[in-house]
């Protein structure tokens, strides 16, 4: 079996073939705002999204399709909150309201809130700014938004102040190609998805998704009696042909449900596979959606985690995009930007680019769908938390502005690029390519690794799930937690026949990412009975260090041994100048005394391994590229220390 081609070095080629037409620029936003005058939006103000979009900017575009034939009865019969409707009268000058059950802001026990945020590209050299929101800043004329408003009840679509920023940002990045698009805030995509299913699917229905997908989506749908049909994927994400085939050959009898009309997809940095659909792939899938009149839920928390191309270990980094324009051009166009019919609900989230605890995101869809969503929100989430909205408003609107937000997103892109490169370099260095393969993710935070379980010694006697479980626990014993691929299968009956593990490079310190991958490599070698040759191979290190302790001449450490790179049982290649241990007993005390290896395995601590490596470097001054199992007998190997 040829080793996999693990690295793709080419940059995403197809973003340049499509330019978002008439894309708004940061400068134009300022002009538009100046023309539309100061935003005055008091307590529970309804947002005028049409004004945020610029009254004339989209009139030349077609209207979105209507989706009455796809909406569930639940969605169609939601009339909204009559009490919230009354809020629109609040803006009448001189009105004394004895209407709404709104507590007085006098009793909000928060007079002021302050927080410190980073400043990027500061002209003055300042690295942080302290932002402060007061209770009555609007009355004092010091801000368009204050705590008295933010902490009061609001509209389901969120505050007009923050929503304006989000509408403009959406236009800046995607410029939807139909006229009546709109945005509504959410309390994150998990909630948006829950509400969207209720809008488009009823008990007994099926929806479609990638064959590996975000489990929360499946777990949300299942209790509603909604099942998920798997569409096959390759390294570029969902396959349009497979989507078409599933729909063309849909057998209502066999499936016990109607042909699906809702497609859920994570096109960029997909969870769990890390795959990113190319522009061509998106166009093909959109065409299939048009053919079968599907409605698309585009779940894009990782959109701005599109990274610089991976160029391989030790290759020079590719410099970041030089301008905002270049940055936006480097992003694969979204479904929203291709959506001439208004058949996409795009879900954006601050979770991966600001913080998950903000619990703020937004959807973009046709006015009809946003209105349905908004009336549902009025009676469920009400709106995102006022504290979160205020914090985001202060950062985005008052501190960073649109340009500053793009700078932040670019900063995040470069941070993730560095992390992704570390895990890829570690995979190259430590994983046994005979049994594991991977691709360089172009976006997101996940590294998806295929394990060729067909080469496992127990392949003929155990199932995929059994071997996967064993490997999962073996990884744990080695001190690395990786997610099982099978946890991400939406349709447990659709057997992919393949085994994967998911790693994330999002959070662990870089040295620990390397160490975790090294341990995974060690765990695989052990499980597959491989005599490893890669750097960091535990058996190699152990063998070498025992020899050192035995006080033999160190020059032998640099002698390469033959390379048994296969699944066949390890072969001992005796070296004439190195004394051979006669038995397990003879080497065991030395091993334990010198390395404390068994303890390291039990506690999951990596410290001993690090020491091993440094001892090796000190002794040999070079990495070993071949290992004879000197000093390690087969019993030791089988014991898996």
Ligand X SMILES: Cc1ncc(COP(=O)(O)O)c(C=O)c1O
Q: For ligand X, which stretch binds (CB under 6 A), given 144-152, 183-191, 381-389, 552-560?
A: 183-191
Q: Scan residues 479-518 and list those touching ligand X (CB under 6 A).
A: none
Helix 607-620 and helix 538-549, axial crossing angle in degrees, nearest 10: 60
What binding mask, one character per residue, do residues 258-277 give for ligand X by CB under 6 A, x or -? --------x----x------
Number of residues that bind ligand X (CB under 6 A): 12
Identify the residue among 155, 190, 275, 278 touching ligand X (CB under 6 A).
Answer: 190
Greatest CA separation for the chain: 100
Q: Which is nearer to ligand X, 361 or 631 (CB)?
A: 361
Q: Which is nearer to ligand X, 178 or 501 (CB)?
A: 501
Least separation, in Å, of the C-beta of 301 and ligand X? 5
Q: For ligand X, which stretch binds (CB under 6 A), given 37-45, 185-193, 254-262, 314-322?
A: 185-193
Q: What is the spatial distance between Cα 410 and Cα 453, in angstroms, rounded to a whole number?
A: 39
Least separation, in Å, of the C-beta of 442 and ligand X? 16
Least separation, in Å, of the C-beta of 217 and ligand X? 7
Identify the residue among 152, 155, 159, 189 touching ligand X (CB under 6 A).
Answer: 189
Identify the residue among 54, 154, 158, 301 touching ligand X (CB under 6 A).
Answer: 301
Q: Which is nearer to ligand X, 156 or 628 (CB)?
A: 156
Q: How far is CA 266 from CA 238, 290, 301, 405, 415, in A?
A: 9, 18, 8, 23, 22
Taking Cα atoms as reference points, which of 639, 627, 641 lies closest to residue 570? 627
Q: What is the spatial distance between Cα 396 and Cα 149, in angstroms, rounded to a whole number?
A: 18
SS3 per-residue string spanning 282-324:
HHHHHHHHHHCCCEEEEECCCHHHECCCCCCCCCCCCCCCCCH
- Could you tell me whether strands 361-366 and 237-238 are parallel, antiparallel, or unpaired per DSSP bridges? unpaired
299 binds ligand X (CB under 6 A): yes
Least separation, in Å, of the C-beta of 416 and ligand X? 14
Least separation, in Å, of the C-beta of 218 and ligand X? 11
Burial 57-84, CB ≥16 within 10 A → b, else e? ebeebeebbebeebbbeebeebebbeeb
Q: What is the spatial distance between Cα 346 and Cα 342, in angstroms, rounded to a whole number?
A: 10
Q: Which 3 state secondary structure label does DSSP give 171? A: helix
361 binds ligand X (CB under 6 A): yes
Identify the residue among 265, 268, 334, 349 touching ligand X (CB under 6 A).
Answer: 349
Contact 601, 641 (CB under 8 A): yes
Q: What is the spatial distance between Cα 260 and Cα 292, in angstroms, rounded to a whole number?
A: 9
Q: What is the spatial distance between Cα 632 and Cα 587, in angstroms, rounded to a whole number?
A: 8
Least separation, in Å, of the C-beta of 640 and ligand X? 33
Least separation, in Å, of the C-beta of 359 and ligand X? 7
Contact 615, 545 (CB under 8 A): yes
Least separation, in Å, of the C-beta of 220 and ligand X? 10
214 binds ligand X (CB under 6 A): yes
- Residue 467 neighbours by CB under 8 Å, 6+ apart: 453, 456, 458, 459, 499
Q: Which is nearer to ligand X, 189 or 389 (CB)?
A: 189
Q: Which is nearer to ligand X, 190 or 368 (CB)?
A: 190
Give me the residues that bind ligand X (CB under 6 A), please: 188-190, 214, 266, 271, 299, 301, 349, 351, 356, 361
């Amino acid at each position: 079996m040829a080793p996999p081609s693990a690295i793709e070095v080419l940059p995403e080629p197809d973003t340049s073939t499509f330019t978002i037409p008439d894309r708004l620029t940061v400068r134009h936003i300022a002009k538009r705002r100046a023309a539309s005058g100061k935003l005055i939006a008091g307590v529970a103000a309804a947002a005028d999204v049409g004004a945020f979009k610029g009254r004339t900017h989209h009139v030349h575009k077609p209207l979105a399709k209507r989706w009455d034939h796809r909406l569930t009865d639940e969605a169609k019969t939601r009339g909204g909150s009559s009490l919230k409707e009354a809020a629109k009268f609040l803006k009448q000058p001189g009105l004394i309201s004895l209407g709404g059950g709104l507590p007085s802001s006098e009793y909000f026990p928060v007079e002021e809130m302050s927080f410190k945020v980073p400043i990027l590209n500061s002209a003055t050299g300042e690295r942080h700014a302290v932002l402060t929101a007061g209770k009555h800043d609007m009355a004092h004329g010091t801000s368009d938004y204050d705590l008295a408003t933010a902490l009061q009840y609001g509209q389901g679509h969120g505050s007009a102040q923050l929503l304006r920023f989000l509408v403009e940002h959406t236009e800046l990045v995607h410029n939807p190609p139909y006229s009546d698009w709109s945005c509504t805030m959410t309390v994150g995509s998990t909630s948006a998805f829950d509400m969207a299913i209720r809008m488009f699917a009823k008990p007994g229905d099926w929806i479609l998704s990638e064959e590996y997908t975000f489990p929360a989506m499946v777990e949300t749908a299942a209790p509603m009696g909604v099942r998920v049909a798997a569409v096959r994927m390759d390294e570029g994400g969902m396959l349009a042909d497979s989507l078409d085939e599933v729909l063309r050959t849909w057998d209502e009898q066999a499936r016990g449900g109607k042909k699906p009309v809702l497609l859920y997809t994570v096109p960029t940095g997909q969870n769990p596979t890390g795959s990113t659909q190319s522009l061509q792939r998106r166009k093909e899938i959109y065409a299939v959606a048009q053919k079968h009149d599907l409605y698309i839920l585009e779940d894009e928390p990782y959109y701005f985690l599109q990274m610089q191309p991976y160029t391989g270990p030790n290759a020079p980094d590719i410099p970041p995009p030089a301008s905002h324009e270049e940055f936006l051009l480097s992003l694969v166009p979204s479904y929203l930007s291709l959506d001439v019919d208004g058949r996409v609900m795009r879900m954006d989230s601050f979770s991966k680019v600001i913080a998950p605890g903000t619990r703020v995101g937004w959807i973009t869809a046709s006015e009809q769908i946003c209105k349905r969503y908004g009336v549902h929100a009025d009676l469920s989430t009400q709106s995102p938390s006022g504290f979160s909205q205020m914090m985001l408003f202060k950062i985005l609107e008052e501190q960073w502005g649109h340009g500053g937000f793009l700078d932040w997103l670019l900063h995040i892109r470069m941070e993730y690029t560095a992390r992704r490169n570390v895990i890829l370099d570690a995979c190259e260095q430590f994983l046994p390519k005979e049994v594991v393969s991977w691709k360089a993710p172009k976006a997101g935070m996940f590294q998806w690794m295929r394990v060729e379980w067909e080469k496992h010694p127990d392949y003929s006697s155990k199932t995929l799930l059994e071997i996967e479980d064993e490997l999962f626990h073996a990884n744990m014993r080695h001190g690395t937690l990786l997610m099982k691929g099978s946890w991400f299968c939406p349709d447990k009956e659709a057997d992919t026949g393949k085994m994967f593990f998911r790693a994330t490079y999002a959070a662990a310190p870089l040295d620990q990412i390397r160490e975790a991958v090294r341990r995974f490599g060690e765990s695989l070698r052990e499980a597959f009975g491989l005599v490893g040759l890669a750097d960091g191979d535990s058996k190699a290190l152990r063998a070498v260090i025992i020899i050192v302790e035995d006080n033999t001449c160190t020059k032998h450490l640099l002698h390469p041994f033959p390379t048994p790179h296969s699944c066949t049982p390890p072969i001992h290649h005796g070296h004439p100048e190195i004394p051979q241990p006669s038995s397990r007993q003879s080497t065991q005390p030395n091993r334990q005394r010198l390395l404390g290896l068994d303890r390291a395995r039990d506690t999951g601590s990596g410290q001993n391994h690090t020491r091993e490596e440094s001892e090796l470097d000190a002794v040999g001054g070079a990495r070993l590229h071949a290992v004879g199992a000197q000093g390690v007998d087969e019993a030791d190997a089988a014991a898996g220390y």
